[in-house]
Every structure is written in C-alpha cells, then in structure tokens.
Amino acid sequence: MDPPTPEGAAAAACRSLGERLPQKLDGAERVESTPASPYVAVWGDGQIALRCGVPRPAAMTATEQIPEIDGVAWFADPTRPLLFTSIGRQAYVEVTISRQHDPQNVFVDLAGPIKAALPQTG
C-alpha cells in the first residue's frame, strides 16, 4: 500500500492519529503495514486499511450529501464501493473496508481517534 505524503500540520495530525488508533477494529487485529509508514494502518490481512493525509476525493462534489457517524463525516466513493474518506478535518483519512467487515462498526471505532487527532476545518 502506497503511503501518502502529507505536509505541515496535516502530517503532524496524521502522526497523532496513528498513535491513537485502536489495536483491534471490528474484530481484526492491527498489523504492520508494508512499507512501514506513520500515515498507514492495517488490520487483519489487509481487510481494513487506513491512509491519513490523502488528497481530497476526486469524485466528491461541492453539493454532495455526506453522512456523519459519531461526529465524523464519511464520503463513500461511488466508483469504489469499499473506499470511504473522512472529510472536513485537518487531513483526509481514507479507509478501505473489505466485505468481511461492517463499515458502521469501523466508523464508530475510528470516530474517537479521528476527532481527537484531526481538528475540524471551516
């Protein structure tokens, strides 16, 4: 998995997020990412993967209705049904969730760390 390369405040926020992420997500244990990166986290056999500091989702429009779960807004990419991106924070966080897991459970488990590490933006 290619690690993103955030800069400045986004990079610092992503490193903080990495330190706050749970060891288990929807029953999957956290494992080392390859290559290792402070901006990437993986659970299970790559069943759940998180990348912090990615670009704004290209498919997202300005008028998009974005659902919010536990105070974190998640954009679901219509062209990639297993890819979700948290938006409206200091850095974009992309999460890929395999069909073996319930996205709702993953979003609830990630909400606390995301809210604590990534301040909301305008």
Over the chain (122 residues), the average pLDDT of each successive run of 10 is: 92 97 96 95 95 95 88 93 95 96 96 96 76
Q: Does pTM top 0.75 for this prediction?
A: yes
What pLDDT does 122 receive? 65
Q: How far is CA 23 from the centre of its chain?
A: 15
Dist. CA 73–CA 71, nearest whole Å: 7
Cis check: omega of the bond before 6, within 30 degrees of 0 = no
Taking the domains of the chain in order of start, what are their residue ranges?
8-117
Residue 9 near residue 17 (C-beta atoms within 8 A): no
- Looking at this protein, which amino acid is placed at residue 96? T
Binning the chain into helix, strand and coil, the percentages to the nearest 5 are 25, 30, 45
